[in-house]
């Protein structure tokens, strides 16, 4: 008996330890309500009070119905137009159909019951003219949106005049927890909290300078605003907090990196770098020279370089990176060039060996005394080739090592590491990117230009260099969007392909899939809507497109490239394409980055609406790399007005990667911009927009750096230190390296 009593007493004793924000919701609201919140990832009082409303409603304004979409959990404020109760036609029972409106659009509500009594209750409450807040999951019936058995709260039921005039907070909700129930739960727990429960990460002097309320008062204003202005001030304050905490985390990592040391590699006159510059067949652009000087100065120092090199497709980043690697080789070090795909690894290997010429034949009979060896290492290499490559790397004979993820293997020994160049870094995991960058200089390259605010927020611990000029002699590439429903246009696409081949050009045909049963190899979205009247088309695949082209253009040899081919098969396919043996290459996105075929003059992108804007730009960058103009044909079934079609129209309007990057962040969700999809987490920024809050980010960045300089361990700012530590570890790591 005593044992039984003790078992039942334990929860009560344990609950004494749960205070403030850490208190489990079960203790505060009961098990049933807590379970409902748990489905939303809300487990504690802190989780609940930090679940802020995302917008405000007003009793005098109706919330727009036009924004709803099928499957979405929505909350709308609307006026009842009609309410009709009748027996069901096909089965026993009754149905109440209510039509509501926001003044522009109508929405149907349906309630079912076996008898009339429960429906008559709703009918009495939802009389024509009644204004209420409705919450539920949008479904469709006979082509019309509807809410079935929605929760609702009649706005006119509120007896308190002050509350009637106050805005209505609208929360992200689900079918079991409508917005007003969340508001009631918050109203239950919030009075039990005090200012002491909300340590403020923003230093007092920063709040004063920016005229911001303290955190506790901001939280109160977000949940229970007296007017819109108070709510907006609180939102602004939270934006500053998110920006300040993020920039402090990045500033701390930046400061910690500078405390470490790396080998110094000063320029050496008369070495391989000078010999390379002397044999370059073209003149470096002013941008390449300027960025090269920045990198050279940093490599000559003992503070590890952490630099992001961004530039549009074809801006000459590889030459800049190669010159940096040769400076390291001159000073006795080795440089690793990490790339995401085998196709790209072999392309870089061939390009670098061609650029270096005899300077890449170190150790061979008759080679120059300043020459080095260029080695490649990929996962699909044969055992003998791999052993030879590993031996050349381990001996230090290979000054430049190019490889895929295979470079990260435990058995790869680089005895004199000096510089790691990471190409298209977003394709590598956090741990992978960190392995080779540890204790050495790091140069991260991306051909997807990054808007300034994104760079400050995601690459804040890296110094950023930008190449904006394109080397002289690059040809123009025109882009046309081709509706798949227009047969004459599609016929012309394949005629144009044949014309390019007859003019000794090479043609890429890009597909989202390898075959009809495989998954997409794109980064695009699924918002593909067939044009009105057009039949729903299967997604293009390499296998089926190859067969189609062999039937349609029997006089032209067609090759194929995709991720299921071995390294040797990919290299062979690319070689046959380059020499014209198979002048049409049907491929997935494995040719997206770095592939350089000067004779490639035409690209057809099938189902182009399934690709992201940056991916489309990368693909287009594979043509027009010689002196002849290029043509890109983006084939789509997306209807006018859809987000997918907007991407394609933006893509066709300009070849300026920086302009496309700005457009891309306009069209994408904030979490996507921050890389939430890559990290597998939702965005941790709930208020701050890195695309729109440039001024806040700039102010916070400067202040955060001053705070870290004043107190490197943040000991002077304990609340700020706690907020930085509380950032998701994987998110913090992602922001550091992504």
Q: What is the pLDDT of residue 534?
A: 40
Q: What is the pTM of this model?
A: 0.65
Distance CA(322)–CA(400), nearest Å, equals 9
Q: What is the pLDDT of residue 33?
A: 92
Phi, psi of 370, rounded to the nearest 5 degrees = -95, 0
What contacts 543, CB < 8 A, 6 or more positions away? 514, 515, 516, 560
- Using the Cα atoms of residue 378, residue 379, residue 385 and residue 390 in order, give the sign of their dihedral: positive
**Could you report the average pLDDT of every consecutive run of 10 residues in the chain (738 residues)?**
38 49 92 92 94 80 65 79 89 91 86 89 92 82 81 69 68 81 93 94 96 96 94 96 91 82 93 95 90 96 89 84 97 93 84 92 83 92 91 94 86 92 60 56 81 64 80 79 94 96 96 80 45 55 95 95 86 91 93 76 94 85 87 92 84 84 65 38 68 87 94 94 73 43
Domain boundaries of the chain, sorted by first residue = 2-49, 55-170, 208-259+696-737, 272-300+316-446, 477-654
Burial class (CB in 10 A: 0-12, 13-18, 19+), 532: exposed
Query: In 3-state terms, what secondary structure has residue 443?
Result: strand
Contacts 24+ apart (CB under 8 A), 656-659: 656/312, 657/312, 657/313, 657/447, 657/448, 657/449, 657/617, 658/312, 658/449, 658/451, 658/468
55-170 CATH fold: OB fold (Dihydrolipoamide Acetyltransferase, E2P) (2.40.50)
- Computed on alpha carbons and rounded to an integer, the radius of gyration of the chain in Å comes to 31
Distance CA(308)–CA(465), nearest Å, equals 6
Q: What is the pLDDT of residue 134?
A: 85
Q: What is the pLDDT of residue 61?
A: 59
| Domain 477-654: which CATH number of 3.40.50.2300, 3.40.50.700, 3.40.50.300, 3.40.50.1100 | 3.40.50.300
Q: Which of 346, 320, 352, 335 is nearest to 447 (CA)?
A: 320
Q: Which of 728, 625, 336, 657 is nearest to 469 (CA)?
A: 657
Q: What is the pLDDT of residue 50?
A: 94
Domain 55-170 and domain 477-654, same fold? Reply is no
Distance CA(184)–CA(247), nearest Å, equals 35
Q: Are the CB atoms for 633 and 492 separated by under 8 Å?
A: no
Instruction: Return the bridge partners of 75, or none.
Output: 135
Q: Are the CB atoms for 236 and 212 separated by under 8 Å?
A: yes
In order of 80, 161, 503, 603, the CA distances from 632 in angstroms are: 52, 63, 16, 5
Q: Are the CB atoms for 449 and 311 separated by under 8 Å?
A: yes
Domain 272-300+316-446: CATH superfamily is P-loop containing nucleotide triphosphate hydrolases (3.40.50.300)
The tokens describing 59, both together, are 């009793």
């Amino acid at each position: 008996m005593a044992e039984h009593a003790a078992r039942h007493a334990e929860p009560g004793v344990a609950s004494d330890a749960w205070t403030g924000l850490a208190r489990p919701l079960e203790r505060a609201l009961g098990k049933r309500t807590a379970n409902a919140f748990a489905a939303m990832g809300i487990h504690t009082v802190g989780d609940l009070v930090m679940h802020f409303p995302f917008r405000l409603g007003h009793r005098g304004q109706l919330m727009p119905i036009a924004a709803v979409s099928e499957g979405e959990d929505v909350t709308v404020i609307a006026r009842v137009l009609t309410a009709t109760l009748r027996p069901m036609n096909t089965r026993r029972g009754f149905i109440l159909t209510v039509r509501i409106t926001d003044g522009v659009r109508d929405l149907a509500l349906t309630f079912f019951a076996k008898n009339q009594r429960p429906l008559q209750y709703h009918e009495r409450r939802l009389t024509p003219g009644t204004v209420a807040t409705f919450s539920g999951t949008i479904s469709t019936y006979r082509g019309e949106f509807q809410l079935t058995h929605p929760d609702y709260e009649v706005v006119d039921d509120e007896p308190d005049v002050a509350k009637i005039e106050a805005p209505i907070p609208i929360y992200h909700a689900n079918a079991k927890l409508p917005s007003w129930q969340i508001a009631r739960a918050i109203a239950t727990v919030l009075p039990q909290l005090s200012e002491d429960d909300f340590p403020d990460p923003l230093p007092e002097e920063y709040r004063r300078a920016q005229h911001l309320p303290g955190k506790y008062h901001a939280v109160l204003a977000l949940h229970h605003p007296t007017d819109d202005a108070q709510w907006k001030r609180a939102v602004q304050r939270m934006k500053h907090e998110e920006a300040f905490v993020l920039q402090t985390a990045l500033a701390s990592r930046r400061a910690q990196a500078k405390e470490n040391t790396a080998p110094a590699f000063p320029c050496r006159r008369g070495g391989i770098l000078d010999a390379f510059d002397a044999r370059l067949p073209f003149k470096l652009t002013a941008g390449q020279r300027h960025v090269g000087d920045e990198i050279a100065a940093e490599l000559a120092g003992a503070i590890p370089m952490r630099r992001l090199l961004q530039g549009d497709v074809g801006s000459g980043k590889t030459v800049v990176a190669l010159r940096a690697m040769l400076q390291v080789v001159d000073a006795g070090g080795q440089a690793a060039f990490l790339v995401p795909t085998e196709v790209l690894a072999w392309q870089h290997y061939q390009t670098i060996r061609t650029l270096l010429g005899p300077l890449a034949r170190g150790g061979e009979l008759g080679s120059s005394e300043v020459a080095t060896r260029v080695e490649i290492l990929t996962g699909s290499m044969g055992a003998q080739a791999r052993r030879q490559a590993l031996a050349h790397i381990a001996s230090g004979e290979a000054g430049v090592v190019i490889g895929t993820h295979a470079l990260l293997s435990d058995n790869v020994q680089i005895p004199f590491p000096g510089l790691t160049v990471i190409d298209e870094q977003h394709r590598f995991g956090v741990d992978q990117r960190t392995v080779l960058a540890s204790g050495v200089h790091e140069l991260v390259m991306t051909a997807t230009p990054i808007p300034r605010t994104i760079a400050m927020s995601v690459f804040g611990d890296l110094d950023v260099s930008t190449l904006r000029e394109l080397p002289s002699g690059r040809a123009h590439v025109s882009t046309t969007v081709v509706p798949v429903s227009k047969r004459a246009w599609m016929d012309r696409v394949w005629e144009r392909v044949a014309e390019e081949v007859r003019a000794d050009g090479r043609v890429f045909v890009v597909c989202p899939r390898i075959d009809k049963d495989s998954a997409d190899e794109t980064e695009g979205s699924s918002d593909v809507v067939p044009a009105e009247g057009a039949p729903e088309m299967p997604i293009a695949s390499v296998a089926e497109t190859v067969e189609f082209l062999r039937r349609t253009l029997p006089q032209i040899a067609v090759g194929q490239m995709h991720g299921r081919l071995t390294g040797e098969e990919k290299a062979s396919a690319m070689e046959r394409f380059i020499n014209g043996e198979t002048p049409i290459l049907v491929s997935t996105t494995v040719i997206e980055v770095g592939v350089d075929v000067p004779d490639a003059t035409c690209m057809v992108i099938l189902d182009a609406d399934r690709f992201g804007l940056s991916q489309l730009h990368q693909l287009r960058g594979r043509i027009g790399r010689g002196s002849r103009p290029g043509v890109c044909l983006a084939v789509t079934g997306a209807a006018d007005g859809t987000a997918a079609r907007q991407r394609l129209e933006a893509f066709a309007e300009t070849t300026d990667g920086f302009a496309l990057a700005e457009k891309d962040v306009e069209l994408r969700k904030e979490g996507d911009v921050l890389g939430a999809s890559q990290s597998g987490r939702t965005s941790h920024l709930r208020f701050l927009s890195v695309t729109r809050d440039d001024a806040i980010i700039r102010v916070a960045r400067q202040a955060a750096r001053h705070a870290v300089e004043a107190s490197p361990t943040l000991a002077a700012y304990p609340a700020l230190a706690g907020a930085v530590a509380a950032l998701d570890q994987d998110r913090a790591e992602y922001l550091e390296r992504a």
